[in-house]
Structure formats: C-alpha cells, structure tokens
Amino acid sequence: MLFLKNLTISVEGKTIIKNLNFEFEKGKTYAIMGPNGSGKSTLAYSIMGHPAYKLSDKSSMKLNGQEISQMDPNERAQEGLFLSFQSPLALSGVKVYQLLQLAMNGKKDPLQIRKEAQKYAKELGISEELLNRPLNVGASGGERKKMEVLQAAVLEKDLLVFDEVDTGVDVDALKDISHFLTKHKKNKTYIAITHYNRILHYLKPDFVLVMKDGKIVKVGKADLAKTIESEGYEYIKK
Ligand SMILES: Nc1ncnc2c1ncn2[C@@H]1O[C@H](COP(=O)(O)OP(=O)(O)O)[C@@H](O)[C@H]1O
Ligand SMILES: [Mg+2]
C-alpha cells in the first residue's frame, strides 16, 4: 500500500528522518509511538507532502506502486491519503461544508456532503452549532479532533494518518472517536500516532512501531504498546 524506502527528511536544514524503510499494508492498523521530537509528525507531514519537509534524492514513497514523493498535497489526497493534524487550525469565515466541498473537487454533491457531515456529527457527538460554526473557531482541543475525524469520514480516503488524535481529548470524546473509527474502518489503512495505550485498546493495532531519533527502532504487536506504557522508552534500549 504505502512503501517508504530510504526515507531521509530534513526541515530547515536539519535532518529529522534518517533512512527509514517500512511498508504499510492495505487494511491494517498501525500505531506509531515514540518520545517527543522523534520525528512522528515529520513523517506524517512528509507522507502528506508538506513543502517544508525536504526529501533526499534517494528517498522514495510509493502508494500502490506509484511514486508520490513529487506530488503536492492535493494530488496525494486525490490518490487516497488523509492526514488528521496534531493541532488542527481554526479557519474563520470557512465552514466545514465549504472546506469539504473544495476537497471533494465536485466528486460529491454538496447536499450529500451536508447530509453525511450531519450524520457523522451525530455519531461523533458534535453539536449542530459546532458543525455550523466557522471551522474550529473557539473549539476545544477535543472538538477539533472530532472535526478532523468527521472530515476523514466524508472524504472517504484509503490511508488515514491520525497525528495524536487522542491528545487533549477527554475520556468520553476518546470513546466517541475510537468507536467511530472502528465502525468506519472497513478496508481502510489506519496509522495512529499516539503516546497512549488507551486509544489502542479500541483501535487494536496490527502493528506497533516505535520511532526514536528519526528511525523505526522497534516493530511489535499490540502488547508492545502496553510494555512501553509500563516501562517507558528505556525498555527499547534493553
Ligand atoms: N518546521 C520545523 N522547523 C524546525 N524544526 C522542526 C520543524 N518541524 C519539526 N522540527 C524538529 O524536528 C524534530 C521532530 O519533530 P516532530 O516530527 O514534530 O516530532 P514528534 O512528532 O515525534 O514529537 C524536533 O526536534 C522538531 O523540533
Ligand atoms: Mg508530533
């Protein structure tokens, strides 16, 4: 599905990801854990094509066999990628419907988009009022994360990267988000970057990846997340 080869990424002249190799398979759920600053968000942004993150010449990113490393974010989205931001921004003057319409590029009827957004909002416990407000204006951390998940669902992408979708989210909101993601998983590939085992309790990852200093230093099953939670990242050194 997504094949990362010799991935070396720098930002502001500083190398963050160092020769990373990994293949994400279709339909599986992955968790990416790792200490602060290990390069998790950098990897997420780079998969989506953020222009600040520069790939080395040898770096390759293939989505279903097609090289995507030269594509802009919009093209990557059309190829089926979605990124839920660690810190979703507010957009005054723009409603989520308008943003979704733009992102769908005419592939879904505006009325249909509205209907789906309203249905998903109900499932996620997002109020009508929040849904109709300019995007994320005055919204809490948890509300913003829910809005990200709602957008992911309407856009119907195949590979979804959730950067700390569980951070700053209360227990009930976490349940809403987790149940929603589980219900709508189908054959999608999920990559959930997280610091906590609590979301993984619901998402049940097939694989847990640990990043440290821009590298994947360990790959394990769900129990790896539990071990890390109890023993910390020092455990990896052993
Ligand atoms: N735009 C940027 N400018 C400068 N340094 C950056 C930028 N983005 C990320 N970094 C640096 O790259 C490293 C990895 O950051 P990040 O990918 O956000 O880590 P993580 O998500 O694992 O906490 C950090 O040292 C961070 O300061
Ligand atoms: Mg991060």
Residue 86 alpha carbon, nearest atom of ligand 1: 21
Cα torsion for 133, 182, 192, 161, to the nearest 10°?
-60
pLDDT at 61: 98
Q: Which ligand is nearest to the CA of 211?
A: 1
pLDDT at 129 over 80: yes
Residue 42 alpha carbon, nearest atom of ligand 1: 17
Distance 33 CA to ligand 1 centre (A): 15
Structural domain harbouring 214: 2-11+20-237
pLDDT at 117: 97
Q: Whose CA is nearest to atom 18 of ligand 1?
A: 41
Supply the CATH number for residue 103's domain: 3.40.50.300
Q: How far apart (Å, rounded) are the C-alpha atoms in residues 73 and 28?
A: 23
Distance 54 CA to ligand 1 centre (A): 13
* 12-30 pLDDT per residue, tens: 999 999 999 999 999 999 9
pLDDT range class, residue 234, cuts 50, 70, 90: confident
Would you mind telling me the total number of residues written for the chain in this entry? 238
Q: What is the pTM of this model?
A: 0.95
pLDDT at 31 over 80: yes
Q: Which ligand is nearest to the CA of 34?
A: 1
Provide the number of structural domains found in the chain. 1
* 133-182 pLDDT per residue, tens: 999 999 999 999 999 999 999 999 999 999 999 999 999 999 999 999 99
pLDDT at 235 over 90: no
* 61-79 pLDDT per residue, tens: 999 999 999 999 999 999 9
Q: How far apart (Å, rounded) are the C-alpha atoms in residues 47 and 42?
A: 9
Give, in order, the Cα–Cα distances in Å from 33 to each of 3, 29, 200. Answer: 19, 13, 11
Q: How far apart (Å, rounded) are the C-alpha atoms in residues 61 and 66?
A: 8
Burial tier of 82 (Cβ tally within 10 Å: 0-12, 13-18, 19+): buried
Q: Whose CA is nearest to atom 7 of ligand 1?
A: 11
pLDDT at 238: 65
Ligand 1, residues at Cβ distance < 6 Å: 11-12, 14, 16, 34, 36-42, 52
